[in-house]
Amino acid sequence: MKMKLNEIARVVGATCPLPEVSCPTITGVAFDTRDLVPGDLFVPLVDARDGHAFIPDAVKKGAAATFVAADHAPLATGVPQLVVPDPLAALQALARYYLMMKVNPKVVAITGSNGKTTTKDMTAAVLATQYHVWKTKDNFNNEIGVPMTILAMDTNTEVLVVEMGMDRPGQLHDKSVLVEPDVAVITMIGEAHIEFFKTRDKIADAKMEVVDGLKEDGLFVYNGDEPLLRDRATSVPQEQRTFGLDPDNQLFARDIESFETHTDFSLSRWPDLRFTIPVMGEYNVTNALAAILVGRRFHVKPEAIQQALASFKITKNRTQWVTGDDGEQILSDVYNANPTAMKAVLRDFGEFPVAGRRIAVLGDMLELGAASPELHASVAAALDPAKVQVVYLYGDEIRPLADALATKYPAADLHYFPKDQQPRLITALMDDVGHSDMVLLKASHGLHLEKVLDALIEGDRG
């Protein structure tokens, strides 16, 4: 971005302390001084720590100006300050202005309990064959990340692909109204955040908020295999397209073949084309179907979609294959976990050819609330000792799964470690894994299984 400070002041309803001729040009926005570069506007957010305490550091690093919350003003900052009621609300207002008035791209908004990041990556790759595309980086999908994604956008962006997460009712409504999508996508409804929503019905209600800002001539794309979405879609007046594995969908896959590093599938719509995605699993095929529907909405040719999906780059730590220090193959999926996704990964993992053993290292799935014991125990249905020979369980929430597996697995092949015993888990795992084995790592990010992954890759017991 590139905007004069006085223009930003008008947008956020603040008074610029400098005459127009003296106003600096702002070339970026930062809320973390570690990411700040000279010329940025600093946004002091108040959360666990008060960002106003970091204004002096921001100034030292070259901030050209800063927001200041009204209840903190006046402050001696050393740079021009725009006093606003709420710096986060001002950030969001600035992002909306930049989106609508400075760039004005088409917007694709993607949400879902699982698969939204991969779908975002696939969709961006498909659209990039024909357009200048900007997409959400990493997991910048919350009320801070969405406006930061917008403000980082190049001015020549033609399509913005923005990922939207949520853990409370109303959050997707606010993001959808902020960006006013031309296309809204829901990948699936799972059990993520059921601790707060209590039921999958309420999760579906919250996910449907992604259409609240959908343009009148917009398109709603959703997983038609999910009855909760089909029921709610009847109240959406905009055009709709469904995808999934059921033939009742407008776009469905057939003849799916899943391998360790890729998955092949066909579509009834274009019987002469065979699609390949460089990730495993049927659940990733449905993500690809969503990307295909978005691509067709933007008139991308089927052959171009086919080529883009075959070579798209997935965000780190999502079903990523790496090699351990001893030569073992490791399937790392340590960023996110919910029961639906964990069962799907385990079923695919159990089918991959391996010279040695398949070893699953599973950690807590967080934010499941009162249903946590039952939902963790339910994963036992996806574990078969003939297919996954050894299981390591880690965390405090996952203990019911250990109990459920006690009658299925010999004691020597079932290992449980409480959350405060990660070093013991790492030592036991490294003593056990051999070069011909295959290892799956899957848990919510709060369990930090990336530390276990690093130990296996580096051969370091810590």
Q: What is the CATH number of the domain that holds 207?
A: 3.40.1190.10
What's the one-letter identity of residue 242?
Answer: T
Q: Do both 276 and 348 map to the same domain? A: no
pLDDT at residue 415 in the model: 98
- Domain match, 47 and 195 both: no
DSSP per-residue codes, 266-324: EESSSTT-EEEESS-SHHHHHHHHHHHHHHHHTT--HHHHHHHHHHPPPPTTSSEEEE-
DSSP 251: E
CATH of the domain at 68: 3.40.1390.10
Domain-located, residue 98: no
Res 369: pLDDT? 84
Cα 349 from Cα 327, distance rounded (Å): 18
265 and 408 fall within a common domain: no
Q: Is residue 118 part of a domain?
A: yes
Other CB atoms within a 10 A radius of the CB of residue 400 amount to 18
Q: List the structure tokens of 57.
A: 């550091």
Instruction: Please check whether residue 315 is in contact with residue 422, taking contact to mean a CB–CB distance below 8 angstroms.
Output: no
3-state helix, strand, coil in the chain (%, to 5): 40, 20, 40
Residue 97 in domain: no
Give the separation between CA 409 and CA 118, rounded to whole angstroms: 33
The answer to whether position 226 is within a domain reads yes
Q: Do residue 299 and residue 344 come from a single domain?
A: no
Answer yes or no: do 262 and 331 share one domain.
Answer: no
Per the domain annotation, does 93 fall within a domain? no
Last residue of a domain, one of 26, 53, 85: 85
Tokens for 295, please give them.
């691509």
**Gap between the Cα atoms of 311 and 372, Å rounded:** 37
CB 93 within 8 A of CB 84: no
Alpha-carbon distance of 188 to 228, in angstroms, equals: 10
d(CA 454, CA 462): 10
State residue 259's pLDDT score: 86
Tens-binned pLDDT, residue by residue, of the chain (462 aa): 999 999 999 999 999 999 988 999 999 999 999 999 999 999 999 988 999 999 999 999 999 999 999 999 889 899 999 999 999 999 999 999 999 999 999 999 999 988 899 999 999 999 999 999 999 998 899 999 999 999 999 999 999 999 999 988 999 999 999 999 999 999 998 766 566 667 889 999 999 999 999 999 999 999 999 999 999 999 999 999 999 999 999 999 999 998 888 999 999 889 899 999 999 888 899 999 999 999 999 999 999 999 999 999 987 656 788 899 999 999 998 878 889 889 989 998 998 899 999 999 999 998 888 889 999 999 999 999 999 999 999 999 999 999 999 999 999 999 999 999 999 999 999 999 999 999 999 999 899 999 999 999 998 755
- Does residue 21 sit within a domain? yes
**Domain final residue, candidates 250, 280, 311:** 311
Asked whether residue 263 is domain-assigned, the answer is yes
- According to DSSP, residue 407 is labeled T
Overall domain count for the chain: 3
Which CATH number belongs to the domain containing residue 439 in this structure? 3.90.190.20
Mark whether 122 and 267 lie in a shared domain.
Answer: yes
Residues 113 and 219 in one domain: yes
Residues 6+ apart with CB under 8 A from 245: 225, 252, 253, 256, 282, 285, 286
Short-list 352, 304, 279, CA closest to 119: 279
- Tell me if 435 is assigned to some domain: yes
Whether residues 339 and 450 share a domain: the answer is yes
Integer Rg of the chain from CA: 24
From residue 404, alpha-carbon distances to 66, 238, 372, 414, 429 in Å are 55, 46, 14, 11, 21
CA distance 105 to 113: 26
Among 311, 346, 363, residue at a domain's last position: 311
Same domain for 148 and 275? yes
What pLDDT is stored for residue 334 in this prediction?
Answer: 85
| Residue 348 and residue 231 share a domain | no
pTM over 0.85: yes
Instruction: Please check whether residues 342 and 267 belong to one and the same domain.
Output: no
Per the structure block, which two tokens stand in for 431?
């003593």
Q: Are residues 292 and 428 in the same domain?
A: no
Measured distance CA(336)–CA(216) in Å, rounded: 34
Structural domain boundaries, residue 56? 3-85
